[in-house]
Amino acid sequence: MTIINLENYNASLKDVYLITGQGVTSNIYVFTGETLTIVDSGNGAEENRIRPKLKEIFSTIPNVSKTILTHFHFDHIRGLDELTEFYDLDIFIHKEEVPFLRDLNLKRIKEINAGDKIMLGEYLLDIIHTPGHSPGSVCLYEKKTKLLISGDTVFPNGSFGRYDFPFGNHQALIQSLKRLTELDVQVMLPGHGLPTFSKVNQQIQHSYIAAKSYS
């Protein structure tokens, strides 16, 4: 696991950290404010535990008040076990993904929907429903800073999320990518791999074109 202070890469990303993991696991983004907000929680494996990393970043382990899950896949949500063990936190996920969490017996699930706004540290992001990789996948976007948290819907360099998992949908993914091409994005924080900071609109355009060409 590595911790990346994203401000070192882009001055607008103040107090935002990326924790990368080992194996099949999502990126974990940490937004700093009075309390912490975490976007996606990784696969929950021992080597990907979150609290030791928070301690490395902050020296004392701060309170985590909420987590936002871009979708329900195990590599994004299994870290919830650790978070809910230690924190009384709100878990935000799109309403169409809630049924997939049923077995986890989670308290404090808050449904999010397209058009909602959510505060992550200093950022106020719009929820964009981007089905395709999963029915209730979401991206989060802040117009002011042109920041996109893209989950597994779109990745850098013309890549995009798989649509061949159960409940995936190719046509829906194409429409979601089209929607994302309409945004002006300068920073993309994807669910896997490294963030990207240059020519992001072009990269998303390439993803859209590439997804359309698949059949």
CB of 80 to Zn ion, least distance (A): 15
Classify the C-alpha dihedral 162-21-151-188 as positive or negative.
Answer: negative
Taking the least distance from each CB to Zn ion, the nearer of 84 and 153 is: 153
CB of 15 to Zn ion, least distance (A): 26
For 69, what's the count of Cα atoms within 13 Å in the CB-facing half-sphere? 31
Segment contacting Zn ion by CB under 5 A, of 68-76, 110-118, 124-132, 180-188? 68-76
CB of 96 to Zn ion, least distance (A): 14
- Position 73 contacts Zn ion (CB under 5 A): yes
CB of 94 to Zn ion, least distance (A): 13
Segment contacting Zn ion by CB under 5 A, of 111-119, 151-159, 193-201, 207-215? 151-159
Show the beta-strand stretches assigned E in 10-63: 16-20, 28-31, 36-39
| SS3 assignment, position 6 | helix
Widest CA span in the chain:
50
- Position 152 contacts Zn ion (CB under 5 A): yes
- Phi, psi for residue 143 in degrees, rounded to 5: -65, -40
Least Cα distance to 181 among 162, 160, 207, 157 occurs for: 207
Segment contacting Zn ion by CB under 5 A, of 30-38, 80-88, 144-152, 176-184? 144-152
Q: Which residue is nearest to Zn ion (CB)?
A: 73
Binding footprint of Zn ion on the chain (CB under 5 A): 73, 152
